[in-house]
Chain A
Amino acid sequence: MPVRWNPEDAVVWKFIVRRISLALVIVFLGSFIIYGVMRAMPTSFVEAMARQRAAASATTGGPTYQEWLEQLNKAYHLDTNIFNGFISWLGGVLQGDFGVSWKYGIPVTQKFNEVIWHSVILNIITIVLEVIICIPLGIQAARRQYSGFDYSITVFAMLCISLPTFFLATLLKYAFAVKLGWFDLYGLVGRYHEQLSESAKVLDIMHHMVLPVLTLAMLHIGGLTRYTRTNMLEVLNADYIRTARAKGLSERTVINRHAFRNTLIPLVSYMSYLIPSLFSGSMITETLYQIPGIGYISYDAMVAGDLPFTMFYSMFGLILTQLSLMLADIMYAVVDPRVRVN
């Protein structure tokens, strides 16, 4: 089939280009705001570093504290105003250089590579669990609207939404780690992890992930269940379902073939928000369980005032958000042909 120029393509491309440039502007401005706020933090980290190095080089007649401080401030562009400092930082970023983390002492990207997969694995397990639990629950609740089952699902979902992460995590730890002693309180690996065989190591990590996964899943179950139920209800009230029933299709066919598939449209767009969030980590949960994922590591860096790492993490977060928004648009078009036409 010969490739023909389609005038609609130009519109689509124009839209995509505009969307991407908007995303770039937002990433730029967002990073700038975070950079400005970070600069408001007293640079105690740099001062401590300068003091340390001055002490180390004092015997050999090396640079003094003041000289070190100036040198370090210059290296991190802290000696110029916020705007120039940001531009210098951005210049490094565009060359792929995010700098060395102040807190961890290794390049930011290297630290990121070390920890990101812990977060991703944790989130993948959680999302799979969520989908397995929430979608059937939501659909059942919608099918039996106003029944006792529906009410209990609603209350349960509301309860999950209302639970503070830290309280849930502390409760789970109290019940399963302290009282029952099934799991460790903290960490991703056990005390004797290094002595275990390869398969036992994997099992050890899995064992340590049970409570974090449970926490994360509980927190999200409420939202997803309600969302599924709402959309299923909307679909079930639609005319084409009445038509399907009227023409005598079995209830199973109506639900599985007609209703469920249409419920998937909003669900998929909801999931497309989740895919980028796989990488964003879950700061509170990881911190509470001290899982060395991106969330916990970034939290520590932020509290310590680690400028390079915080900037990297914020920019990463900004890009992820923009990506998920764009992905949601695209996924919607993929799943729902009507969107493509309009």
Chain B
Amino acid sequence: MSEKEKKNLQENGEQLSLDDGRRVKVLSPGMMVFKRFIRNKLAIVGICTLVFMFVFSFVGGVVSPYRQDQVFYKVDAANKEYASAVVNTDYRFTPVDGATLSTMTRATFNSQVKSSGKDVTTFVADNTTYTATRLDEGFYILSAGQNLGTVTQLGKMVDIALDEGKELSDAARAAVQAALTGKQTSFEAEGVTYTLTRDVGKTYKLSSMGEVGLASMLNFDAYDPANTALVSSYAFKKACEQAMHEGEGSFTVDGVTYALDIENETTALVTDQNGTEIAGVSNIIVNPVNVGVFLPADYKAAVEEAIAGRKTAFDYTNANGEVERHTIQMRGNNYIISTMQQTYLIDMYAAPSAQHPLGTDDHGMDVLTRLMYGGRISLMVGFIVMILENIIGIIIGGVSGYFGGWVDTLLMRFVDLFNSIPYYPMMIIAGAIMDSFEVDPYIRLYMMMAIMGIMGWTGVARVVRGQILSLREQDFMIATEATGIPVSRRIFRHLVPNVMPLLIVQATMGLGGIILTEATLSFLGLGIKYPLASWGSIINSASNIYVMTNCWYLWIPAGLLIVLTVLGFNFVGDGLRDAFDPKMKR
């Protein structure tokens, strides 16, 4: 005796006979379908797969710590050009404090003095006569006449009219007088050379010859940026170079004595008396490749040393005490110095890691997150297109099947027409049109769903029509006619619900097909576009051979998701069909 019977016996005090109707458990038709469905193992597998896919796509996207279009960066060491060095073959000019050497002067010097080879060369630039005195190879002191004023000789009297702002010491004034008396055109006073040039009659132009600058091939780098002004000053450079050319171990500027450690003709190191490095002297100019990078003098010294030693690489200890390896490459007259530098890069094609379980794609985005968001689009496209197809299909099929006659013929020819339009060519042309108009990715998504719906409703229409054709001959339809129910109600309340089981089966199977089509179009680059993702467009990256061979994690998971989803829909559809109508079970 079963539990139920015992309970019944207790409650009602009667025992059910064997053929009692109450012993038969009556299930509602829906329940019957459900029971048959859950008995189907494959259908259960399908349901589980689909539940997983929905959770993965719709919950996963929320849970994922990343956004779907979040780009990841990485810091990587890359061998980049850091500095360039060139052996100086041009003269570099240092004017005396307060004076300037115009571009014209520099150009004239370069064109005339360099080629002349004489120890003292005079040249004219900007109406000024310059005298270049060669102290040594590649080292010139430039002097120029400076107009001081006019000197007029009136008998024994000498009238000196100075230009504004010029001064002349008494000793010099006496010297002027002495020179005029002695008919000298050039004289010296207090170490300055003066010249008198006859102007008109007894009027002379007085000018002083003074040093205005130096021209040298050497380059001075201050070790301490605070010393830059000192090191680049005329006095310092002149004293230093003179000492270098004369081979002296020290020189004095402004009362301070500096030690000079001469390495060779063009390289030397200046230290102060405490032994602190003040400046490096070299004929090699080292410049940073990137603007805003300061190259310390010891770095320059290291480069110079390496170039002088014809080395291809050297080690340099930077300010942080880290040893960097620099490589030198000769390019024409230049030396390019490269080193491994920290660079901020988009993290493309990163291999799976804890942060990115499936790596990153070609845009540096997290693949797993994109798969989740892509799943939303793939599933959404499937459902929306399916609903659209069914709405159109049910209306046209229902009307066609119910009315029959010429309406049926016309609509069915319409179905034939739509059915025979080649599907993929149409979708590809539509995709190409949207490509050429550069449609916004979101609008494109809606357009694609609309086109897929419009191209795919014919199957539904046929099924609905066929079913309705047979259903409308049945007694219950005659009853609806007899009771005077309106036509639209007859179609959509009495006929369509009877077609529903078959439609549900078809729709479930069709969903897989729609997802496949969308994936194929997206794979071909004609469907979903960046920044949106779908499973198909994620696999699209595998059309790049590099990605296909090296980054399995980019495309295999997406492909498996598609296969599993479509398989799930097919299993469920199969199960539903068997459950709705066991007679159809194959």
Given contacts A22-B413, A40-B433, A233-B586, contact A163 B563 (CB under 8 A): yes
Give bound CA distance, A317 to B512, whole Å: 25
Q: Return chain B residues, CB-CB under 8 Å to A302.
A: 425, 428-429, 432
Residue B570 interfacial (CB < 8 Å): yes
Which of A25-33, A54-62, A206-214 interfaces with chain B?
A: A25-33
Residue of B nearest to A229 (CB): B586
Give bound CA distance, A22 to B413, whole Å: 8
Residue A76 interfacial (CB < 8 Å): no
Q: Return chain A residues, CB-CB under 8 Å to B428.
A: 283, 299, 302-303
Distance (whole angstroms) from the CB of A276 to the closest CB of chain B: 12
Q: Contact: A305 with B420, CB < 8 Å?
A: no
Q: Contact: A174 with B417, CB < 8 Å?
A: no
Residue B519 interfacial (CB < 8 Å): yes
Residue B520 interfacial (CB < 8 Å): yes
Give bound CA distance, A158 to B512, whole Å: 11
Q: Return chain B residues, CB-CB under 8 Å to A170.
A: 539, 542, 548, 555, 559
Q: Contact: A310 with B425, CB < 8 Å?
A: yes
Q: Contact: B429 with A185, CB < 8 Å?
A: no
Q: Contact: B432 with A305, CB < 8 Å?
A: yes
Q: Return chain B residues, CB-CB under 8 Å to A27.
A: 420
Given contacts A298-B425, A317-B425, A318-B421, contact A164 B559 (CB under 8 A): yes
Residue of B nearest to A43 (CB): B436
Give bound CA distance, A173 to B555, whole Å: 13
Residue A73 interfacial (CB < 8 Å): no
Residue A105 interfacial (CB < 8 Å): no
Distance (whole angstroms) from the CB of B524 to the closest CB of chain A: 7
Q: Return chain A residues, CB-CB under 8 Å to B520.
A: 164-166, 284
Q: Return chain A residues, CB-CB under 8 Å to B516.
A: 162, 164
Q: Contact: B422 with A317, CB < 8 Å?
A: yes
Proximity string of chain B (500-534) to chain A, C-beta cutoff 8 Å, 1 when within and 0 when not: 00000000000010001001100110100000000
Proximity string of chain A (159-171) to chain B, C-beta cutoff 8 Å, 1 when within and 0 when not: 1011111110011
Residue of B nearest to A284 (CB): B520
Distance (whole angstroms) from the CB of A33 to the closest CB of chain B: 6
Q: Return chain A residues, CB-CB under 8 Å to B586.
A: 229-230, 233-234
Contact partner of B420 among A284, A299, A318, CB < 8 A?
A318
Give bound CA distance, A322 to B421, whole Å: 10
Q: Return chain A residues, CB-CB under 8 Å to B419.
A: 321
Q: Return chain A residues, CB-CB under 8 Å to B545.
A: 185
Given contacts A158-B570, A170-B555, contact A305 B436 (CB under 8 A): yes
Q: Return chain A residues, CB-CB under 8 Å to B61.
A: none
Q: Return chain B residues, CB-CB under 8 Å to A318.
A: 420-422
Q: Return chain B residues, CB-CB under 8 Å to A42.
A: 436-437
Residue B566 interfacial (CB < 8 Å): yes
Of B425, B436, B539, B542, the most chain A CB neighbours within 10 A belong to B425
A interface secondary structure, majority: helix
Distance (whole angstroms) from the CB of B459 to the closest CB of chain A: 15
- Within B404-445, the residues touching A (CB, 8 Å) are 413, 416-417, 419-422, 424-426, 428-430, 432-433, 436-437
Residue B388 interfacial (CB < 8 Å): no
Give bound CA distance, A173 to B552, whole Å: 12
Distance (whole angstroms) from the CB of A21 to the closest CB of chain B: 11
Distance (whole angstroms) from the CB of A27 to the closest CB of chain B: 8
Q: Return chain B residues, CB-CB under 8 Å to A30.
A: 417, 420-421
Q: Return chain B residues, CB-CB under 8 Å to A37.
A: 426, 429-430, 433
Residue A314 interfacial (CB < 8 Å): yes
Given contacts A302-B425, A313-B425, A314-B425, contact A166 B539 (CB under 8 A): yes
Given contacts A162-B512, A162-B570, A302-B432, contact A321 B425 (CB under 8 A): no
Residue A189 interfacial (CB < 8 Å): no
Residue A267 interfacial (CB < 8 Å): no
Given contacts A37-B433, A167-B562, A299-B428, contact A314 B417 (CB under 8 A): no
Give bound CA distance, A304 to B428, whole Å: 10
Residue B373 interfacial (CB < 8 Å): no
Proximity string of chain A (233-252) to chain B, C-beta cutoff 8 Å, 1 when within and 0 when not: 11000000000000000000
Distance (whole angstroms) from the CB of A279 to the closest CB of chain B: 13
Residue A34 interfacial (CB < 8 Å): yes
- Within A144-200, the residues touching B (CB, 8 Å) are 151, 154-155, 158-159, 161-167, 170-171, 173-174, 178, 185
Q: Return chain A residues, CB-CB under 8 Å to B374.
A: none
B interface secondary structure, majority: helix
Interface size on A, residues (CB 8 A): 52
Q: Contact: B567 with A164, CB < 8 Å?
A: no
Q: Return chain A residues, CB-CB under 8 Å to B526.
A: 303
Residue of B nearest to A38 (CB): B429
Residue B549 interfacial (CB < 8 Å): yes
Q: Contact: A162 with B567, CB < 8 Å?
A: yes
Q: Return chain B residues, CB-CB under 8 Å to A310.
A: 425, 429
Distance (whole angstroms) from the CB of B577 to the closest CB of chain A: 11
Residue B395 interfacial (CB < 8 Å): no
Give bound CA distance, A298 to B424, whole Å: 11
Q: Return chain A residues, CB-CB under 8 Å to B542.
A: 170
Distance (whole angstroms) from the CB of B102 to the closest CB of chain A: 50
Give bound CA distance, A34 to B419, whole Å: 13
Give bound CA distance, A233 to B585, whole Å: 10
- Within A33-59, the residues touching B (CB, 8 Å) are 33-34, 37-38, 40-42, 44
Residue of B nearest to A29 (CB): B417
- Within A275-290, the residues touching B (CB, 8 Å) are 283-284, 287
Give bound CA distance, A299 to B521, whole Å: 12
Q: Contact: A44 with B559, CB < 8 Å?
A: no
Q: Contact: A314 with B422, CB < 8 Å?
A: yes
Q: Return chain B residues, CB-CB under 8 Å to A33.
A: 421
Give bound CA distance, A33 to B413, whole Å: 15
Contact partner of A167 among B433, B524, B563, B574, CB < 8 A?
B563
- Within B530-560, the residues touching A (CB, 8 Å) are 536, 539, 542, 545, 548-549, 552, 555-556, 559
Q: Return chain B residues, CB-CB under 8 Å to A321.
A: 419-420, 422
Give bound CA distance, A298 to B425, whole Å: 9
Distance (whole angstroms) from the CB of A24 to the closest CB of chain B: 12
Q: Return chain A residues, CB-CB under 8 Å to B56.
A: none
Q: Contact: A158 with B436, CB < 8 Å?
A: no
Residue B471 interfacial (CB < 8 Å): no
Q: Return chain A residues, CB-CB under 8 Å to B566.
A: 161-162, 164
Proximity string of chain A (294-306) to chain B, C-beta cutoff 8 Å, 1 when within and 0 when not: 0000110011110
Q: Return chain A residues, CB-CB under 8 Å to B567.
A: 158-159, 162
Residue B348 interfacial (CB < 8 Å): no
Residue B42 interfacial (CB < 8 Å): yes
Q: Return chain A residues, CB-CB under 8 Å to B580.
A: none
Residue of A nearest to B435 (CB): A303
Residue of A nearest to B419 (CB): A321
Proximity string of chain B (555-583) to chain A, C-beta cutoff 8 Å, 1 when within and 0 when not: 11001001100110011001000000000
Which residues from chain A sit less than 8 Å from chain B, CB to CB? 22, 25-27, 29-30, 33-34, 37-38, 40-42, 44, 151, 154-155, 158-159, 161-167, 170-171, 173-174, 178, 185, 229-230, 233-234, 283-284, 287, 298-299, 302-305, 310, 313-314, 317-318, 321-322
Listed by A's residue number, 24 A-B pairs whose Cβ atoms lie within 8 Å are A22-B416, A26-B417, A30-B417, A34-B421, A34-B426, A37-B430, A37-B433, A41-B436, A151-B42, A158-B571, A159-B563, A163-B563, A166-B524, A167-B519, A171-B556, A173-B548, A174-B552, A234-B586, A287-B524, A302-B425, A303-B428, A314-B421, A317-B422, A322-B420
Complex A-B, nearest 7 residue pairs according to Cβ-Cβ distance, in ascending order? A167-B559, A162-B566, A317-B422, A162-B567, A230-B586, A321-B420, A166-B523
Q: A161-B570, A166-B520, A305-B432 are in contact. List 5 more A-B contacts (CB 8 A).
A: A26-B416, A26-B420, A34-B429, A37-B429, A170-B555
